[in-house]
Copies of this chain bind each other. A is one copy, B any other.
Amino acid sequence: MTRFALTLEFDGTPFFGLQRQKDGPSVQQSVEEAAFRILGEDVRLHSAGRTDTGVHALAMRSHMDIAKDIAPFRLMEALNAHLRPDPIAVTHCEIVPEDWHARFACTGRSYVYRIANRRAPLTLEKDRLWQVGTPLDHEAMHRAAQALVGLHDFTTFRSVHCQSDSPVKTLDRLDVEREGEEVRIHAAARSFLHHQVRSMVGCLALVGMGRWREEQVAEALEAKDRQALGLNAPPHGLYFVEATYPDDA
């Protein structure tokens, strides 16, 4: 068996998330079925992260083991051909050592959350950003966000469906910036809880709208209680940006 590392870009809109689901289409199912049609083998896709319905990926890292002899470039081209018309693209493919694991070897994950801060509905970027009509004070959002950076019990920002053993995580970065009418929140950590980014973004948006004092974000964290959550931001503004590994150049 040869292990192939893949980089995947996808539009999450038509999928019930990255991982296989009993009740609807998933990125994993599409990629595994495309691989079966090419190779005649049952392959299993392992990925750095899980994503929810509607969440996008710019560069998800995944791997799969293949018995058949095939060059990485040919595999990538064949997958891209067989994935049509699903909005999934393989943007990179290479052979990696057998002990490289897309999920377990991953030591850093980053996301960006995009908000269109405007009253007009979205056209060209529909399903790509969360539209917020109320003017957002992005500087207040950035200041409030810093209370979440570091080692904390993120119970408040964790879905009831979260399968993580512990709610304690280290958040490395939570930066808020504005470019014109777009507000972007950048989050990075070794790993995240289920719904953590969307939950943090939701509370920061309340600060930006002036509905929460800046200090309420820290208070919500301290509460360690899901009931203290202000708002869970919708999935379609969220992008998995990249996964990093100790052996990355």
Contact = CB atoms under 8 A, between A and B. Distances in A.
A13 to B, nearest CB: 9
B120 A11 contact: no
B77 A126 contact: no
A134 to B, nearest CB: 14
A124 B11 contact: yes
A93 to B, nearest CB: 10
A109 B97 CA distance: 54
Interface string A186-229: 00000000000000000000000000000000000000000000
A135 interface: no
A56 B89 CA distance: 24
A120 B87 contact: no
A90 B120 contact: yes
A9 B124 CA distance: 8
Interface string A38-55: 000000000000000000
Output the residue of A89, A90, A119, A121 with the most chain B CB within 10 A. Answer: A121
Nearest to A13: B124
A123 interface: yes
A159 interface: no
Contact of A118 (B83, B91, B124): B91
A114 to B, nearest CB: 11
Contacts of A58: 124
A63 interface: no
A35 B9 CA distance: 40
Interface of A: 9-11, 56, 58, 76-77, 80, 83-84, 87-91, 118-124, 126, 128
19 contacts: A9-B120, A9-B124, A10-B123, A10-B124, A11-B123, A11-B124, A58-B124, A76-B120, A77-B119, A80-B119, A80-B120, A83-B121, A84-B121, A87-B123, A88-B123, A89-B123, A90-B120, A91-B118, A91-B120
